[in-house]
Amino acid sequence: MPLIYVRGFAGGTSGIDKQVDDPFYGFNDGSTHIRVGGDGNPQYYQFEGPLVRLFAVDGYRPLVSGDPKTYLESCGANTVPRATVWIHRFYDGAADSFGKQAVDFDLEQAARDLYELVQLVREKTGADKVNLIAHSMGGLVCRSMLQKWSYESSGDFRPSAPGKDLVDKLFTYGTPHGGITFAVGSGLLDEFMEDLGPAGSDVFSPEKMYGYLVPGVTYGTEAPDGWVANEIPESAFDTDRIFCMVGTDAGDYGLSQKVVGPQSDGLVAIRNAWVEGAHRAYVHRSHSGRYGLVNSEEGYQNLRRFLFGRKRVSIELAGLEAAPPDRDGNPSFWQAELQLAIRGLPVVMHQQSAPHRCPIDLEPDPAGNPIPLTTAFLLDPVTFADGSTNTPASPRARYGLRLRVSLLTEKHGLLFWRDRLAQTADWEDTLIVDVGHEDDDPTGELRLWAAWNSDLPTAIATQDPICDDPLDPDPDHGAASLRLPRSAGQLLGADTSLILRPELWN
C-alpha cells in the first residue's frame, strides 16, 4: 500500500522554514549510533534512515516532481505505482521562504488537507487504502482526520467516506496521544515554551484536543468530564490497526525534559504516548534528534514488521496469584520487566524496565482474565544464497522474550527496601519461541515451538528448532499455553503460565 508520512511540530517560523526546505520533511535523516556497547557507551552503527531503507530494502520509491498534490492531480487514475512514499507537506503554507504571505498553522486544516491527499493517492494508485506514518504532532493530525474531519463537511471540503475506509494502518512515533503535561512550575515552563515556539503549541493541551478530535465540536470547546484524549471510538478506527512507538530516554533530549520530567522521551510523557487498545513498543530513545525514535533502527524494524509482517503472536500472563504481604503485613505487588528481541537484529524491539521508568505492574484480574504483555510482529524468514539455490536461514521466525519479576513492598505509601536487593529480580528467564507452519509447509497450520533458556543444554543459536515438538493449543484459552518454570510457579502461583496466540497478519 502507499505510505504517507506526517511530520511533527516544527515550532515558530524559523523552524517551519527549515523543515519545508527539506523535500522529505526530515524523515530521511539517519544516524550512526547504537547503544549496544559492552561498556554502556554508544557504538558506531550506520542507519541510513527510515525512508532510505524503505526505498533500498522494501521496494518503495518517492515520486517528487513539484508539489505532491499538483503532481498527483496531473496523473491519470491508476497510473501511479502503489509502492510509493508521499510526504504530507502541511507546513508549506505557514512558511515565508516561498516568497508569499505565510498563514498561521492550523491543525484542523492540516487534517483536512491530509484527507484530500489520501483520496488523491488512492485514486491515482488504485489502492483501496493507504498507511499513515506519523511523528509527534503528526499523529494528532492523522487522528483529527480519522476521528473528526472524515465525518464532517466544511465549505468546499466534502468527505465522501470515513477515514477508516481509506486508511489501513496508523504508526506513530512519540505522538502525545494524551497531550503534553508538565512536571514542574512556571519558571522553567516559560523558558521551555520560548524554546518550543508559540505557533500552534497549544494543540498539545489535553483540554484543547477535544475540539479537533470530536466531530461537531468547535476548537476551544471545553472537554466534558470523563473524556479521555488517548481513546479512539471503535466506530472511528480499529485500534488493532494502530502501533505506538514510545520513547523512554529523556536524557538525550533538550530543555523540555527538565519540565516534562524523566518518565518521558524528553517531550512526551510515557503515559501519554499511546492509544488505549493499540499495539506498543517501548524503546530507549528520545523524542527526536540523533538518538531519536524516527531515525533509529528500533523504529524502522518495528514499523517494517507492523506494516509488512505476515505473522504475529500476542503474549499474555495467566494464573498469577496476588502478591503476599511481607512479614509485618505491609502490602506488596508484583512488578515485571519485559524485553523482546528478534533473531538477526542488533537492537531490542521492545523494552520495559525499572531503570527506564516503565516497568509493568502485574495486577491479577478479579475475573481471571490473562494480563496482556506485548505482541510480536514477524516477517517471513529471509533467504540467503546457499550454493546454487536460495534457502531460508530457518523456515521459522524466532523471537526471545526476557521476563523478570520482582516482589515489591509498600510502607506508608513508599517502597520499603529493608528486605530488597536493588536491581535484583526474584525470578527471571528468557523464553525462546519459533513461529512457523506445520511440517514447514507455508499452507499448513501456524504453530509455535518454545523453550525456556534455563532448560537449554547448549547456546540458543545452535538449536534450530528450539525444541522438537510444537505447543498444543490450550482448550481453555484457544491458544498455546506454556507453564512458567517450577521456580517461578512456586513464587507466582502453580498455575501461572504464558498464553501465546499465533495469528496470520496482513
CATH 3.40.50.1820 applies to domain 3-308: yes
Distance CA 266, CA 115 (A): 30
In this predicted structure, what is the pLDDT of residue 222?
A: 86
What is the residue-averaged pLDDT of the chain?
86
Say if residues 88 and 120 touch (Cβ distance below 8 Å).
no
The set of residues, in sequence order, having a beta carbon less than 8 Å from that of 297 and lying 6+ positions away, is 34, 45, 47, 345, 346, 347
Lookup: cell for 409: 513492598
3-state secondary structure of 197: coil
How high is the pLDDT of residue 97? 74
E strand or H helix at 5, and its extent? strand 3-6
E strand segments, 71-118 = 84-87
Q: What is the pLDDT of residue 115?
A: 94
Helix, strand, coil content of the chain in percent (nearest 5): 25, 30, 50
Terminal-to-terminal C-alpha distance of the chain: 11
Eight-state DSSP code of residue 286: B
- Crossing angle of helices 107-125 and 137-144, rounded to 10°: 70
List helix spans (H) across 41-106.
50-57, 68-73
Strands (E), 158-231: 167-173
Please check whether residue 500 is in contact with residue 482, taking contact to mean a CB–CB distance below 8 angstroms: yes
Per DSSP, the residues of 389-428 read: EEEES-SSEEEEEEEEEEEEEEETTEE--TT--TT--SEE
Are the CB atoms for 496 and 319 separated by under 8 Å? yes
Beta bridge partners of 436: 447
Spatial neighbors of 450 by CB under 8 A, at least 6 apart, are 431, 432, 433, 434, 466, 467, 471, 480, 482, 500
Q: Where are the domains of the chain?
A: 3-308, 312-504
* Amino acid 255: pLDDT: 65
List the grid coordinates of 209: 484536543
Strands 414-415 and 397-411: antiparallel
Buried b / exposed e across 272-299, counting CB within 10 Å, b at 16+? bbbbeebbbbbbbbbbbbebbbbbbbbb
Burial class (CB in 10 A: 0-12, 13-18, 19+), 368: exposed
DSSP conformation letters of 332-374 = EEEEEEEEEEETT-SS-SEEE-TTTT--EEE---TT-PPEEEE
Contact (CB, 8 A) for 137 and 94: no
Weakly modelled stretches of the chain, pLDDT under 50:
155, 186-187, 189-191, 193-199, 385, 388
Identify the residue whose cell numbers are 497450520. Answer: 445
Tens of pLDDT, residue by residue over 39-92, are 667 778 788 888 888 998 899 998 877 788 888 999 999 999 999 999 998 888
Beta strands at 61-62 and 84-87: parallel, antiparallel or unpaired: parallel
Q: What grid cell was written down for 72?
A: 498527483
pLDDT score for 423: 83
Residues comprising the chain, all counted: 506
Give the model's pLDDT for residue 506. Answer: 86
Return the pLDDT at 388.
47
Helix axes 50-57, 297-308, angle to 10 degrees: 50
